[in-house]
Structure formats: structure tokens, C-alpha cells
């Protein structure tokens, strides 16, 4: 998932000084996370030898995009955490530029846990009525001990499980489906919400929605955009929302950019809305100035950058 457009860019690796930029970025990311090529990716060392390399690699940052109720007033109900890589040479990179590199290089577990912890830490300062949504890679779901790691983060950061929503993609439900189903069920037993991201763009079927413990479906922006461009767009979106309602699932429409789209989605019975009409992805400091996300204890939770 692109995780929100904002001002970040998707970098297309080419050649740099005779080297493949893809490999350079992969090495930079490994340095940033403090992971040796053959080391345990869950261990992020803080030793002096890593500091210079990390400074060259830039910083990882979390941006947030608000999610709003479709009910009257459209109050914010939560926010989705969106990772960005502020690279010293290539600028602010969108996740599509480096998440595949993290997966290829065996770094996704360390990266994913950092995102989860930072998102949970931030959410502890928001209104108790809000939740934070965090994207989870299919590879993370197959890591032994993933459920326990999530529980540990929630306990250490002091965030109730009911205020965490993990977003999984349709592709995650296909590979090793029985193991993934068991993992999702264990997460839900702890009170964590599960949402199916980019619904309708992959391989999901009704049987998948029934087999896997899903609490919410997120309607992809490509379908929402059809409301303005195709006569049959309304029928498609209506069918997706109706399906969610029939199965007792919440529905979030992504990519809502116009009042006309908002009003139509509300009329169709969509439960939550997300998109530029309400907010662009923003740093935590900007989010904290919005209603529902203000300080609860007089101070802002300090982010934990991966460089010193």
C-alpha cells in the first residue's frame, strides 16, 4: 500500500556511481535500522560504530492521516500511521519505495515493530475514543511470536488493545491461509481490531471474509474515484458497502476528496471516511493540534528516531 500520497515520492531505483540504487537504498535502510547483513533483525544495536552510518541514511518518520465518522459532524475516530523515509539524498520517500526492500532484505520485522511502537506511543496521548491503524506486512504475520510482540508493545506503551487496528492486505490472506487465520484470531482474542485494506483490488472472496476474523473493510480509493468518473461507479461502491453491512463489518472509504463523494458515501451507509477532504498525511506535531488528538497529560509523546 502507498499509505497516503502527501508530499512523499515513490523513488524508482536506477544507477548511481555505477551501482544499483536499489542496493544502495537497501544498505542504507539496513544501516538505519542497525542491522548487520547476517544479524538478528529484531535486535537494533545502539553502539558507536552504527551512528555515522545511520546519519548518512537519514531518518524514518511517522505521518498520520485522520479517519472520520460518516455520521453528522464527521468527527475524527482515529488515524492511520504512515511511514516515511527522510533520505538525505532522495528526499521524503513513500513506503512503496522501500517496504519491498525491507521485505527482500529481511528487515521487515524490525521496521514493522518500530512503526507499531511509535504509533502506539503516539496514540496514548490522543482521546480515548480514537484508535490508531497500523499496516502489517504479510511477512510479519508469519513471524513466530508476532502476536506476543504486539501484546508486549501494547503493554509497554500503555495502549488498550481495543484502540489498535492492524491493517492487512488481501494478499496476506492467500499465502499460508490457515496460519494467517490463526494469527488474526489470536490478535482479535486480545481485543485488537483487524481491517482488510484495499478491499476489492486483490483476491478476496466471501469465503475469505468469513474464514478470517475481519472487523473492517477499507474500500480502495480507486473505487471511490469511480463515483465521479463512471456511471457504474456508484453501483460498485454501493455493493461493497452493502456487503460490509450484511456481514456486520465497519466500512472505511479511502481517497475521499470531494464533498460530493462524501455525501454519496454517507447516503450509501459507509461508516467511516478517509482522504484529502479531511486531511493530508501530516507529522504527529500537526496531528496533535487537531480536535480529538490533543494533549491529554500536558506533553507530547516524544518520537524515537532511529539515528542519534
Least confident of 33-42, 73-82, 271-280: 33-42
Q: What is the pLDDT of residue 10?
A: 52
| Structural domain includes residue 180 | yes
The yes-or-no verdict on residue 60 having pLDDT over 50 is: yes
CATH of the domain at 240: 3.20.20.450
Does a structural domain hold residue 29?
no
Does residue 38 sit within a domain?
no
* Out of 25-39, 211-225, 254-268, least confident range: 25-39
- Structural domain count of the chain: 1
Handedness of CA 208, 209, 215, 220 (dihedral sign): positive
Examine residue 298 and state whether it is found in any structural domain, yes or no: no
Range of the domain at 200: 57-287
Give, to the nearest 10 degrees, the angle between helix 108-123 and helix 146-157: 30
pLDDT at 177 exceeding the cut of 80: no
Pull the grid cell for residue 156: 509497554
Provide the strand spans (E) within 238-305.
250-253, 272-273, 282-283
> How large is the angle between the packed helices 21-33 and 48-57, nearest 10 degrees?
140
Please give the grid coordinates belonging to residue 200: 476489492
Residue 254 lies in a domain: yes
Q: Which of 98, 131, 127, 93 is nearest to 5 (CA)?
A: 93
Q: Strands 250-253 and 15-16: what pairing?
A: unpaired
In a domain, 306, yes or no: no
36 domain residue, yes or no = no
The answer to whether the beta carbons of residues 81 and 133 sit under 8 Å apart is yes
CB 251 within 8 A of CB 221: no
Q: Is residue 2 part of a domain?
A: no
Residue 122 binned pLDDT confidence (cut-offs 50, 70, 90)? very high
Give residue 109's pLDDT. 92
Amino acid at each position: 500500500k502507498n499509505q497516503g500520497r502527501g508530499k512523499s515520492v515513490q523513488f524508482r531505483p536506477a544507477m548511481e556511481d555505477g551501482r544499483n540504487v536499489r542496493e544502495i537504498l537497501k544498505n542504507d535502510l539496513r544501516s538505519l535500522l542497525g542491522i548487520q547483513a547476517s544479524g538478528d533483525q529484531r535486535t537494533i544495536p545502539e553502539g558507536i560504530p552504527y551512528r555515522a552510518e545511520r546519519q548518512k541514511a537519514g531518518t524514518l518518520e511517522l505521518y498520520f492521516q485522520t479517519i472520520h465518522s460518516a455520521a453528522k459532524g464527521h468527527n475524527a475516530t482515529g488515524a492511520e500511521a504512515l511511514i516515511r523515509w527522510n533520505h538525505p539524498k532522495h528526499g521524503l520517500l513513500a513506503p512503496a519505495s522501500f517496504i519491498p526492500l525491507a521485505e527482500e532484505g529481511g528487515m521487515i520485522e524490525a521496521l514493522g515493530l518500530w512503526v507499531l511502537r511509535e504509533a502506539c506511543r503516539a496514540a496514548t496521548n490522543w482521546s480515548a475514543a480514537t484508535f490508531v491503524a497500523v499496516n502489517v506486512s504479510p511477512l510479519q504475520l508469519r513471524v513466530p511470536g508476532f502476536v506476543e510482540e504486539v501484546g508486549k508493545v501494547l503493554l509497554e506503551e500503555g495502549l488498550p488493545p481495543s484502540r489498535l487496528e492492524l491493517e492487512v492486505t488481501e494478499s496476506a490472506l492467500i499465502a499460508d491461509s490457515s496460519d494467517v487465520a490463526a494469527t488474526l484470531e489470536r490478535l482479535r482474542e486480545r481485543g485488537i481490531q483487524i481491517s482488510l485494506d484495499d478491499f476489492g483490488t486483490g483476491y478476496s472472496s466471501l469465503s475469505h471474509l468469513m474464514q478470517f476474523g475481519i472487523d473492517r473493510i477499507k474500500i480502495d480509493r480507486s473505487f471511490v474515484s469511480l463515483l465521479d468518473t463512471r456511471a457504474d461507479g456508484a453501483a460498485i461502491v454501493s455493493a461493497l458497502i452493502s456487503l460490509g453491512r450484511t456481514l456486520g463489518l465497519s466500512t472505511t472509504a479511502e481517497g475521499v476528496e470531494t464533498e460530493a463523494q462524501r455525501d454519496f458515501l454517507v447516503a450509501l451507509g459507509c461508516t467511516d471516511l478517509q482522504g484529502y477532504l479531511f486531511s493530508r498525511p501530516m507529522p504527529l506535531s500537526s496531528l496533535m493540534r487537531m480536535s480529538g488528538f490533543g494533549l491529554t497529560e500536558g506533553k507530547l509523546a516524544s518520537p524515537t528516531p532511529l539515528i542519534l
